[in-house]
Amino acid sequence: MTAIVPDNLYSVLRAAFADQLEGVFLRLADGSVVTYGDIDDLSARLAAVLVEHGVGCGDRVVAQVGKSPMAVALYLGCLRIGAVYVALNEGYTFDEVAYFVADAEPRLIVARPGVPMPAGSTTVLTLDDAGGGTLADHVSVTARRQEIAAMGGRTAAMLYTSGTTGKPKGAMLTTENLVSNATALAELWGFSGDDVLLHALPIFHVHGQFIALHCAMLRGCEVRFLPRFEVGAVRRALPGATVMMGVPTFYSRLLAEPSFGVDDCVSMRLFISGSAPLTESVHHAFTARTGHRILERYGMTETGMITSNPLHGERIAGTVGYPLTDVVIRVVSETGDACPTGEIGVVEVAGPNVFAGYWGMPDKTAASSRPDGFFVTGDLGSLSADGRLTLSGRGTDLIISGGLNIYPKEIELLVDDVPGVIESAVIGVPHPDLGDGVVAVVVGEPGHDTEALVTAIRATLDGHLARFKHPKHLAVVPDLPRNAMGKVEKATLRRTYAATFTT
């Protein structure tokens, strides 16, 4: 039987929370609430503002904004009219945003007031963290609601993600991708209307925006909507909450508080971790301290969630569990053959969760999948006899710091351009707080002044690169280790600098 693909994601979510319109959707840190009815109304008004600004089905709306109910309503407003929501990390610099805007060619940009935007002739509306700005001004003068478009766009949202080489690519996520993933997860993780989700993630990634919010909306449950992860605020919000989703850094930061323990978690039924590897030591320490076994799951921007440890059944530290409903995974060798049980290969995935392709890059889309439609994740892993996946790193140099992806090449290209630098190699090494910490190893020209070189490199990065990507350690060395082919041996560098942040 062919599955019925819904046209419009908002109408799917709306139908799911239709009997909860009086119920709390977002509870903010100051205690104020936004009901499901409020968000339904606000998103309808925002949809009208978008239409007034010429945004139609399939048009991109780029948003680089803080975490607020208005930002959520903007996303939902886009869904209502079939516009494609493109969320950008708040930390991106003007240069970085310029690339995304040039690539996405949005009809409208929404940005924080006072932040210069490389907009050209594109209209820019503003939205501050309190929900004010010109976007809100238009909402308040706009009386009418824009009802859900009969047809949603095939692409509901687009998020940028990079490869090891080349520029970031816009991953086009369809209504089917997002509905199938959220439906499977809400079921698998046992979400009900009685749940209270503690939300401290940013909302410019799959994790905080789609996984967390869609699961809650599909069950009409309350979301404790914190502006960011801050240990004190999270501990204050935990009593009464039942589920939290986080990156591993959330858990190691909670554990770093000696007084954190069972008493903080009395109402909790589930802690979920993903976006980066959760170390076995954090997993076990969390169980010892709280009695909870963190449920680890695995996903990617292009695929949403792929696998999850079970809600009922064994959650094994160091493994990411079984494929979600309708998702198929396989582990293949370099020759493309299926690896035997237990053998490490590249993880490939197929299913309704796999994206529609990279925006405007058919060649890159084709190169990322096999002829039979499987998407090549680039992650290395192995399958147990009963189909449980264990990840064991990546086939690429990707660095994951605090759940954020950092691509060495992007930093190396900037560092190599600094006068006085011959070459550089950027690596990730263990960091007790962030998982990976970024280290740049730089070769300077003969006779250079090391201090001046480091200052020049930092100054260059400042203007061009989001702060979270900046190397936490910079080493200037006489040369880089190379193999017989002349290729820089990053594995050797990772060993050399392994203890940089841990001693």
Contact residues: ligand MCA, CB under 6 A: 91, 201-202, 205-208, 228-229, 247, 249, 274-275, 299-301, 401-404, 434, 467-468, 470
- Rounded CA gap, 210 and 348, in Å? 22
CA distances, 302 to each of 59, 350, 378 (Å): 20, 11, 12
| C-alpha of 79 from chain center | 19
Ramachandran assignment for 351, one of left (phi > 0), alpha (psi -120 to 50 degrees), beta (any other): left
Q: How far is the CB of 403 from ligand MCA (least distance, A)?
A: 3
The DSSP 8-state label assigned to residue 19 in this structure reads G
From 66, 153, 220, 299, residue interacting with ligand AMP (rule: CB under 6 A): 299
**Between 131 and 381, whose beta carbon lies closer to ligand AMP?**
381
Residue 71 interacts with which of ligand AMP, ligand MCA, none, CB < 5 to 8 Å by class:
none
Please count the residues of this chain forming the interface with ligand AMP, following the rule CB under 6 A.
17
- Rounded CA gap, 245 and 156, in Å? 23
Q: How far is the CB of 438 from ligand AMP (least distance, A)?
A: 16
From 61, 135, 185, 276, residue interacting with ligand AMP (rule: CB under 6 A): 276
- Rounded CA gap, 396 and 312, in Å? 34
Q: How far is the CB of 305 from ligand AMP (least distance, A)?
A: 9
Tell me if residue 273 falls in helix, strand or coil: strand
Residue 383 interacts with which of ligand MCA, ligand AMP, none, CB < 5 to 8 Å by class:
none
Residue 234 interacts with which of ligand MCA, ligand AMP, none, CB < 5 to 8 Å by class:
none
Residue 315: count other Cβ atoms within 10 Å of its Cβ: 18
Amino acid present at 149: A
Q: How far is the CB of 32 from ligand MCA (least distance, A)?
A: 22
275 touches ligand AMP by CB under 6 A: yes
Amino acid present at 299: G
Give which of 26, 69, 28, 71 is closest to 217, Cα–Cα: 26
Residue 80 interacts with which of ligand AMP, ligand MCA, none, CB < 5 to 8 Å by class:
none
**Between 59 and 410, whose beta carbon lies closer to ligand AMP?**
410
Q: How far is the CB of 24 from ligand AMP (least distance, A)?
A: 30
Give which of 255, 298, 296 is closest to 278, Cα–Cα: 296
Q: How far is the CB of 402 from ligand MCA (least distance, A)?
A: 2
**Between 74 and 466, whose beta carbon lies closer to ligand MCA?**
466
247 touches ligand AMP by CB under 6 A: no
**Between 319 and 424, whose beta carbon lies closer to ligand AMP?**
319
**Between 212 and 480, whose beta carbon lies closer to ligand MCA?**
212
Give the angle 321-325-327 at the CA atoms, nearest 5°.
80
- Rounded CA gap, 66 and 95, in Å? 19
Residue 201 interacts with which of ligand AMP, ligand MCA, none, CB < 5 to 8 Å by class:
ligand MCA
- The CA dihedral of 153, 154, 160, 162, to the nearest 10 degrees, is -160
- What part of residues 139-168 is at the interface with ligand AMP (CB under 6 A)? 161
Residue 139 interacts with which of ligand AMP, ligand MCA, none, CB < 5 to 8 Å by class:
none
Query: Which residue has 């979400």 as its token pair?
Result: 191
Instruction: Select the residue whose beta carbon is closest to ligand AMP and give its number.
Output: 301
Residue 283 interacts with which of ligand AMP, ligand MCA, none, CB < 5 to 8 Å by class:
none
- Rounded CA gap, 428 and 393, in Å? 12
**Between 40 and 436, whose beta carbon lies closer to ligand AMP?**
436
Residues paired with residue 65 on neighbouring β-strands, in sequence order: none
- Rounded CA gap, 87 and 64, in Å? 6
Contact 110, 85 (CB under 8 A): no
43 touches ligand AMP by CB under 6 A: no
Amino acid present at 195: D
- Rounded CA gap, 375 and 354, in Å? 7
Q: Binding marks (x or -) toward ligand AMP, 318..337, rule CB under 6 A?
A: --x-----------------
**Footprint of ligand AMP (CB under 6 A):** 161, 274-277, 296, 298-301, 320, 377, 379, 391, 394, 400, 405
